[in-house]
A = this chain, B = another copy of it.
Amino acid sequence: MAQPVHPDSVPCPPDRLIAWGRACLQAVGVDETDAASVARSLVQTNLWGIDSHGIARLPHYLNRITRGSIKARPQIAVTPTGPSTAQVDGDQGLGIVVSHRANRVAIALARTSGIGAVGVADSSHCGAVGLYARDAAREGLIGMAFTHSDKIAAPHGGHVPFLGTNPIAMAFPREGGEPVCLDMATTPIPWNRVMNARREGHPLPEDVAVDATGAPTTDAHAAAALRPLGGLEYGHKGYGLALVVELLCGPLNGNLWGPQIGPMYAELTRPRHIGAFFIVLDPMRFAGGPAFAATLEQIARSLAAQPGEVLMPGDPELAEERRRRAVGVPIEPGLRDEMRAWSERLKVPSPL
């Protein structure tokens, strides 16, 4: 689902943003291929309308690289651990670089043995997990991707942050079109919506946040934790999903978990030891495999014909991508300032 956009944003052509991101990353020591991959991934995410995981995260990556908590040139190690599994050690590299690498391994394992599972240790923020799941689905496979983050969400029954927004992505090949991709946080809203509401003086929706005492609040300034998906009544489900993601990404790979994970925007010299997890499945190993993509298209048509307005997961992102490819990616004022400051610091021409 497209996120709200700041009214004073100015549009920037995606190619110019990618070139800028690549140049900045190269300026802090990232090699050309990795720099291009990260810049493309971030701007692709902007095109989908998910600005929280787009080019706005680049200043954070640059910051951490220059402070030493993300390595510009990590020694990423892939250790096969069986016919269908591998462990990737990210060596505190850029999460997007490490995750693309791990996802490629999962794709290769799925081809040879039907399913591949790859865990990632010692990585960092990996951007939108939909990037990876969609990559697998574009090759006719079923992609699943998970990651975790520092504490933002209270567990169900509690009110102190413990888990991240721990997202889940699952993508499936669809005949004649882009993959169907569910890419969802396990909280109702992302934390950046709270930050935006603070800045712009908006109230929060009902039943998504609590204050420091645990009381429900719509006051963004008072919000101390997000509730999990499902809110007060059914939040045990969103909390359960977030915990499951935490277990797959954190403890299973020997990473930090929950409150152990350092904050994203503080302690910038401390590596975050964040994990991710990728499962890729080959539909051709199952009875419905040969017809799968066609059946999915049939289901999509059947859903589109329902009363109301029913979309497939990922359709809003694809519609937004078509729009933004024409009009450009909106860059909000705060980000514009950050981008100009980095341009100056790194002697890279500003795209704005």
- Interfacial residues, chain A to chain B (CB-CB below 8 A): 1, 81-85, 87, 89, 112-117, 119, 121, 142, 154-160, 162, 170, 172, 180, 182, 184, 188, 205, 214, 229-231, 233-234, 236-241, 243-244, 246-248, 250-255, 257-259, 279, 281-283, 285-289, 291-292, 295-296, 299, 302-303, 306-313
Task: Determine if B113 and A257 form an interchain contact, defined as CB atoms under 8 angstroms apart.
Answer: no
Interface centre among A81, A299, A307 (most CB of B within 10 A): A299
Please, how many angstroms separate the alpha-carbon atoms of A233 and B207 in the complex?
Answer: 11
CB < 8 Å: which of B117, B233, B251 contacts A188? B233
- CB atoms of A214 and B258 under 8 A apart: no
Is A114 within 8 A of B229, CB to CB? no
Contact, CB under 8 Å: A251 / B84: no
Instruction: Judge whether B229 and A155 touch: CB under 8 Å.
Output: no
* Distance between A111 CB and nearest chain B CB, rounded to angstroms: 10
Q: Does B306 contact A84, Cβ atoms closer than 8 Å? A: no
A-B complex: 3 closest residue pairs judged by Cβ atoms? A85-B114, A82-B114, A182-B240
Question: In the complex, A121 Cα to B286 Cα: how many Å?
Answer: 9
Contact (Cβ within 8 A) B240 A87 = no
Report chain B residues within 8 Å CB of A246. Answer: 299
Q: How far is the CB of A115 from chain B (nearest CB, A)?
A: 5
Q: How close is A14's CB to chain B, nearest CB, in angstroms?
A: 25
Task: Output the residue of A162, A230, A251 with the most chain B CB within 10 A.
Answer: A251
Selected contact of A292 from candidates B238, B243, B251, B302, CB within 8 Å: B251
Q: Is the CB of B87 within 8 A of A285?
A: yes
Is the CB–CB distance between A82 and B159 below 8 Å?
no
Which of A246, A247, A250 lies at the interface centre, i.e. has the most chain B CB atoms within 10 A of its CB?
A247
Measured between beta carbons, the chain B residues less than 8 angstroms from A285 are 81-82, 85, 87, 117
Asked whether A188 lies within 8 Å of B230 as measured between CB atoms, the reply is yes
Shortest A212–chain B CB gap in Å is 10
Per the bound structure, the CA–CA distance linking A202 and B182 in Å amounts to 35
In the complex, chain B residues whose CB is within 8 Å of the CB of A255: 288
Q: Choose from B279, B299, B309 the contact partner of A251 (Cβ within 8 Å).
A: B299
Least CB distance, A263 to chain B, in whole angstroms: 18
> For A241, what are the chain B residues with a Cβ–Cβ distance below 8 Å?
182, 184
The reply to whether A286 and B253 contact each other, CB–CB distance below 8 Å, is yes
CA distance A170 to B302 in the complex (A): 30
Q: A85-B285, A182-B243, A233-B188 are contacts. A306–B254 as well, Cβ < 8 Å? A: no
Instruction: Give which listed residue, B162, B282, B306, contacts A303 with CB less than 8 A.
Output: B162
Give the CA-CA distance A97 to B234 in the complex, in Å. 31
Q: A258-B302, A288-B253, A291-B254 are in contact. Are A115 and B84 (CB under 8 A)?
A: yes
A310 touching B157, Cβ below 8 Å: yes
Closest to A116 in B: B115
Judging by beta carbons under 8 Å apart, are A205 and B233 in contact? yes
User: Known: A237-B229, A251-B295, A279-B279. Contact between A157 and B308, CB under 8 A?
Assistant: yes
Q: CB within 8 A of A84: which of B84, B121, B234, B310? A: B84
A270 to chain B, nearest CB (A): 20
Q: How far does the alpha carbon of A259 sit from the alpha carbon of B254 in the complex, in Å?
A: 43
**Residues in B whose Cβ lies below 8 Å from that of A259:** 302
A303-B162, A308-B158, A308-B214 known; A121-B287 Cβ under 8 A? yes
A119 near B287 (CB under 8 angstroms)? yes
- Are A306 and B160 CB-contacts (below 8 A) given A84-B84, A85-B114, A313-B243? yes
